Chains A and B, each alone.
Chain A
Amino acid sequence: MSFDKSVHLSEDQLLMAIVEESDLPISLREHLFTCPKCRADKVRFEQKLTQVGRMAKYYTPPSKQRILLPESEPRSFYLWFRGQQAAFGLALTVAMLILVVWWTAPFKITPEGGVEITAREMQEAESLMTEISILAENALPTVYLDIIGESYTGFDEEFMQFIIPSINKEPQSYDPGTKGVMPC
Chain B
Amino acid sequence: MIDYTFQWRVVWRVWPELAKGAVVTLEITVLSMLIGLAFALVFAVVRRSRIPVLSQFVHGWVELARNTPALLQIYMAYFGLGAFGIHIGAYTAVLGAIAFNNAGYLTEILRGGLESISRQQRMAALSLGMNRFQAYRYIIFPQVMRIVFLPVMNQTIWAMLGTSLGMIIGLQELTGATAFQQSLTFRPFEFYFVAAVAYYVIAKTIILASRLAAARLFRG
A joins B in a complex: no
A interface residue numbers (CB < 8 A to B): none
